[in-house]
């Protein structure tokens, strides 16, 4: 079994103590940080999600897998993050109200930060008003990034973007959306400025907005 497969199995099984070491070993073997992230951890979470959908595992197992992935991301962080000394803009980010999923949002925050932005991470289950307040109260905010992982919280994303669109400060910032159930079509429908499918492209698009 390759190191990446070993890592994926450990993430799937929620082996938090094994995962950091396996990330180090996979990197030492010459795997790129992006491959370690995608093939060793994100794919594993896909398998976890499938098993949950098929009633083979339940919420506690999803939770331990998420914890294991977070441990792995901590080790991977310095390898994913670029060196950037100057700040190119400020980004407010959060997961919408009612939604507790934060791994994808944290990766987006990490990649955006490594692209040179200062990030104000509002966390998970963020009420509409908190997004609006964070965007309006800081005149340096140029992007508001909104994440949702559940089909049931897509309406909260719609409400968040609608409230941001009504803000008197709207011309100062762009609104980016993403998360597994989100599509370009939904982005257009709710009036956000950009949809991206993953963290790396979110960082690229964010950069394009300020350049």
Query: Which residues of this chain interact with ligand B1M, rule CB under 6 A?
Result: 42, 45-46, 48-49, 52-53, 59, 62-63, 65-66, 98-105, 107-108, 145-147, 149-152, 176-181, 196, 198-199, 202
The C-alpha angle with vertex 23 and arms to 22 and 25, in degrees rounded to 5, equals: 60
Task: Name the residue nearer to ligand B1M (CB basis): 85 or 126.
Answer: 126
Q: Which residue has the tokens 């719609």?
A: 158
Task: Name the residue nearer to ligand B1M (CB basis): 66 or 76.
Answer: 66
Q: Which of 94, 122, 118 is nearest to 178 (CA)?
A: 94
Judged by phi (left if over 0) then psi (alpha if -120 to 50, else beta), residue 2 lies in beta
Q: CB of residue 137 vs ligand B1M: minimum separation in angstroms?
A: 20
Q: CB of residue 122 vs ligand B1M: minimum separation in angstroms?
A: 12
Residue count of the chain: 211
Q: CB of residue 118 vs ligand B1M: minimum separation in angstroms?
A: 16
Task: Name the residue nearer to ligand B1M (CB basis): 85 or 141.
Answer: 141
Q: CB of residue 197 vs ligand B1M: minimum separation in angstroms?
A: 6
Q: CB of residue 155 vs ligand B1M: minimum separation in angstroms?
A: 12
Q: Return the HEC string of 53-102.
A: HCCCCCHHHHHHHHHHHHHHHHHHHHHHCCCCCCCCEEEEEEEECCCCCC
Task: Name the residue nearer to ligand B1M (CB basis): 85 or 182.
Answer: 182
């Amino acid at each position: 079994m390759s190191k990446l497969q070993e890592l994926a199995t450990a993430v799937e099984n929620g082996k938090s103590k094994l995962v950091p070491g396996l990330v180090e070993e996979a990197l030492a073997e010459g795997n790129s940080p992006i491959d370690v992230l995608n093939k060793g951890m994100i794919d594993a979470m896909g398998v976890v999600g499938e098993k949950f959908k098929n009633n083979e595992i339940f919420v506690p197992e999803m939770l331990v897998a998420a914890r294991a992935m977070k441990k792995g991301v901590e080790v991977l962080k310095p390898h994913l993050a670029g060196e950037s000394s100057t700040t190119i803009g400020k980004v407010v980010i959060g997961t919408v109200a009612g939604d507790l999923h934060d791994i994808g949002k944290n990766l987006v925050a990490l990649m955006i930060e490594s692209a040179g932005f200062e990030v104000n991470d509002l966390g998970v289950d963020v009420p509409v008003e908190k997004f609006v307040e964070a965007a309006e109260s800081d005149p340096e905010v140029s992007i508001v990034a909104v994440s949702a992982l559940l089909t049931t919280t897509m309406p909260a994303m719609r409400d968040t973007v609608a409230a941001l669109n009504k803000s008197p400060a709207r011309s100062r910032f762009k609104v980016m959306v993403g998360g597994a159930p989100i599509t370009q079509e939904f982005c257009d429908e709710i009036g956000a400025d950009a949809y991206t499918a993953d963290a790396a492209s979110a960082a690229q698009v964010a950069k394009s907005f300020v350049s």
